[in-house]
Amino acid sequence: MRHAHSVEKVRAAEAELMARLPEGALMQRAAAGLASVCARLLGRLYGTRVLLLVGGGNNGGDALYAGARLARRGARVTAALASPRIHEEGLADLRAAGGRVLSFALLEELLSTDGGAVGTFAGTDLVIDGLTGIGGRGALRGLYAPLVRDLPEDAAVVACDVPSGVDADTGEVEGEAVRADVTVTFGTFKPGLLIDPGASYAGVVELVDIGLDLPEPDVIAHTTADVRLPRPLPESDKYRRGVVGVLAGSSEFTGAAVLAVGGALHGGAGMVRFASSEPVVELVRGRWPEAVTTSLPSDAQSLEPVGRVQAWVVGPGLSVDSRAHRLVHAALESDVPVLVDADGLNVLAGMSEPLRRGLLDRAAPTVLTPHAGELARLLGADRSDIEARRLAHVRRAADELGATVLLKGSTTLVAAPGAHPVLANLTGTPWLATAGTGDVLSGLIGALLAAGLPAPEAAAHGAHLHGLAARLAAAPDPALSPAPVTAFDVLTSLPAALRRLPAPASP
């Protein structure tokens, strides 16, 4: 499990620890961890060329001290001083170890020429980015941006704590940013390392323990080892395992119903009750004979004919006509958990705010699973702003809508109302960017809700399994290159994903 903490919490924990340690000890711990990772990447140190990008903050000090350690082991280390204000003790240590220094004035002159500093940096084996760290906000300024543009393309890049240009708290990137192969982060993960777009700049993230005593995290990312789902007991029957109701499909979007029901069945539901118009019911019945189906007339006002369920999934392929409005209303007026997706979200977005607030003000849990465009319609926000500030918007949505919100995307985020950690899923893959995969996810999460998992946990674990299934579908053999997948491929790979989970503990 990866815990990520805000810059404010990290700063407070660092200050508390530094008050108990000799001066400079904490920076030396960080530098030792950074140098160790760099040495492992280089393999052979003697004669290798290492470039330090040194900013004016403590991150620059970390890079200088790490560079000094590498220089003492035979590396040819050059520090490019990108700020007139430099950590003097770290710079002195690098000089004493035999490191070379490219002064701020000379670097400024190089970067102002037509060729920039590209020729000067040629032949570099490894770059250590110590420009901004967790204190960086907004676009890179001064020499930082042109320096980042001139980095040698064939050198490995190691970011110190957070890639420069990435907001440590949010993952936002405004303009130029360092694209790291490895990020060595200290004490705890930072939210911006787990959330896109920042996560895509971080590469492999290595955590170095420097002894911080930290409070509750702001963001949590589960690993597969953390995903533990209810398992059938000897006395289990189909009702105890969870009955999920699915309201999906229309004359225009029939496949969504088939995929959502399949996601619920493969997600471990003891029974799936499906209801829609007769043509869609026939398709679902033909593909999933184990589903219990009900044909609802277009003017149906109640879900009573469907039978009792322990959770509802409403929305995939539902359309936004009067029938869809009635079904969304009926599901949300029930006393069981409800997941609303796709057209169900569009129905909610088209309601007046008082009506929507009234429907979502319910005792049972509600899970909303929008992508950025759907969330933009629900919040009256700009889609591009949601893409750029995913963490802020998923928190805002959970609080304003009073529901658990799963924001789909390159990094899936799950937020619940109130001051709770946001859950980030790291198994997502671009192969999921294909029609129908969201319908599979809806059914899967619905099955977990029916099994009794709390809403945030059901959403986060469902997203984890969904991403893992997509990866397995794209590359069943890790030795082979991934291939394009369909939503049905993801669906049929769910059992393999479930088999990757930890075995249940012995009774």
Residues 6+ away with beta carbon under 8 Å from 160: 34, 59, 62, 63, 66, 128, 129, 130, 133, 184
H/E segment holding residue 56:
none
58 labeled part of a ligand binding site:
yes
164 labeled part of a ligand binding site:
yes
87 labeled part of a ligand binding site:
no
Q: How many Å apart are CA 103 and CA 54, to the nearest integer?
A: 10
Orientation angle between helical segments 455-474 and 437-450, nearest 10 degrees? 140
190 labeled part of a ligand binding site:
no
136 labeled part of a ligand binding site:
yes
409 labeled part of a ligand binding site:
yes
Query: How many residues does this entry show for the chain?
Result: 507
Q: How many Å apart are CA 133 and CA 275, to the nearest integer?
A: 53
CA separation (Å) from 91 to 56, 65, 141, 167?
A: 11, 8, 22, 26
238 labeled part of a ligand binding site:
no
Query: Do 3 and 213 meet the contact criterion of CB atoms below 8 Å apart?
Result: no
46 DSSP β-pair partners: none
61 labeled part of a ligand binding site:
yes
439 labeled part of a ligand binding site:
yes
62 labeled part of a ligand binding site:
yes
CB atoms within 10 A of CB 301: 11
413 DSSP β-pair partners: 407, 424
371 labeled part of a ligand binding site:
yes
2 DSSP β-pair partners: 221
317 labeled part of a ligand binding site:
yes
Give the residue carrying structure tokens 């953390």: 226
Q: How many Å apart are CA 495 and CA 493, to the nearest integer?
A: 6
Q: What is the DSSP string of 183-238?
A: EEEESSB-HHHHSTTHHHHH-EEEEE-------S-SEEE--GGG-------TT--T
144 labeled part of a ligand binding site:
yes
438 labeled part of a ligand binding site:
yes
412 labeled part of a ligand binding site:
yes
Q: Order of strands across the sheet with 100-102?
A: 100-102, 76-81, 49-54, 126-130, 156-160, 182-186, 204-208
192 labeled part of a ligand binding site:
no
Helix/strand/coil (H/E/C) assignment for every residue in 173-198 = ECCCCCCCCEEEEECCECHHHHCCCH
Residues 6+ away with beta carbon under 8 Å from 499: none
60 labeled part of a ligand binding site:
yes
114 labeled part of a ligand binding site:
no
| DSSP class of 334 | S
Q: How many Å apart are CA 503 and CA 507, to the nearest integer?
A: 12
Q: Annotated binding site, which residues?
A: 58-62, 129, 133-139, 144, 161, 164, 256, 317, 371, 408-412, 438-439
Annotated binding residues for AMP, written as ranges, equal 408-412, 438
- Residues tagged in the binding site annotation for K(+): 59, 129, 164
Q: Which residues are annotated as a binding site for (6S)-NADPHX?
A: 58-62, 133-139, 144, 161, 256, 317, 371, 439
